[in-house]
Amino acid sequence: MTGLSSISCVIVVAMTMAAAGPPAGPGAPVPVPAPATIDQLDPPRRLGARSVAALHTREIIPDVVIVPDAASYLGAIEAWTSDRFWPVLIDDGSLEARDDIARFVRGFAPRRVVRWSGRDRVWPETPAGRVVAVERALARAW
């Protein structure tokens, strides 16, 4: 490296350091970038932000609904609204399900526990029909 290019490098480094200001010490605050507004986000992130905001504004009803099967589960979540929902658990009669439900109820500490059966509900036979039924039920709640 020639003397001139060494001096040029030193000058560039010195100018960069001067522009950056004094070095931050261990207790110096770290600059935090300004948060982006929802309109500045790209569409997938905007949708995610709106979904999270919607979830945080919904009221969780302090009741637990226990249903015997998937068709009843679908009927129970169809009753959710855009501003209220509650836990719905499936009790298939197994010891494992009962243990899981008991553990959840102890942790959630609901106001009441309700057993409900959607006897008039028919669970679709095909996987595609089930997907459509679940999507419709959830769409009603949003």
User: Which tens digits make up the pLDDT trace of 62-83?
Assistant: 999 999 999 999 989 988 988 8
Confidence (pTM): 0.61
Alpha carbon distance 88, 92 (integer Å): 13
Burial 54-81 (b: 16+ CB within 10 A, else e): eeeeeeebeebbbbbbbbbbbbbbbbbe
Query: What's the average model confidence in pLDDT over 15-20?
Result: 53
> What is residue 98's predicted lDDT score, i.e. its pLDDT?
96
Q: How confident is the model at residue 94 (pLDDT cuts 50, 70, 90)?
A: very high
> What is residue 103's predicted lDDT score, i.e. its pLDDT?
98
Alpha carbon distance 84, 60 (integer Å): 6
Query: What's the average model confidence in pLDDT over 116-126?
Result: 85
Torsion of CA 136, 129, 74, 53, to 10 degrees: -40
CA-nearest of 115, 106, 110, 113 to 60 is 110
> Do residues 118 and 75 make contact, with C-beta atoms less than 8 angstroms apart?
yes
Reply yes or no on whether the pLDDT at 95 is more than 60.
yes
